[in-house]
Amino acid sequence: MAVERTLSIIKPDAVEQNHIGEIVAMIEAAGLKVKAMRMTHLSRPQAEGFYYVHKERPFFGELVEFMTRGPVVLMCLEGEGAIAKWREVMGATNPAEAAEGTVRKRFGSNIGENASHGSDATETAAFEVSYFFPGYDL
């Protein structure tokens, strides 16, 4: 499997509940490298642009509201099969359906407030990493 880069976000709910350290520890324990990291409070246009693929979905307004309500931690992760690996460590979108021990099972509250984000494919990872880390050498 190839070495990949993927975009990870610790969402506002997990930052509010003091879970940054535990989530970063889970990332590192999985063998993924944190290549870049930044804490920021997303503006509405930044969140809307990031989630543009979901703009027609009924939950889009709620999602943007949530993602802009407090600071997030943005990370570029690297490793063998990093895209799938980080999604495995995160667990299913809905915390109720996520496997035991995953980030979303441990720290997510519901399908909207689910503690973390991870890119889902090679193309989206490239877009998402460059969206928040422009100029970062891919």
Under the rule (CB under 6 A), what is the footprint of ligand ADP? 54, 59, 62-63, 93, 111-112, 114, 117, 120
- Report, in Å, the least distance between residue 122 CB and Mg ion: 14
- Report, in Å, the least distance between residue 44 CB and ligand ADP: 16
Give the phi and the psi of residue 65 in degrees, each rounded to 5. -60, -50
**Closer residue to ligand ADP, CB minimum distance, 44 or 54:** 54
List the one residue out of 71, 48, 63, 79 whose CA is nearest residue 114.
63
117 carries an active-site annotation: yes
CA separation for the pair 130, 138 (Å, rounded): 8
CA separation for the pair 128, 120 (Å, rounded): 10
Q: Choose the binding region for Mg ion from 1-9, 19-27, 36-44, 113-121 (rule: CB under 5 A).
A: 113-121
Touching Mg ion, residues 116-135 (CB under 5 A): 120
SS3 9: strand
| Residues with active-site annotation | 117
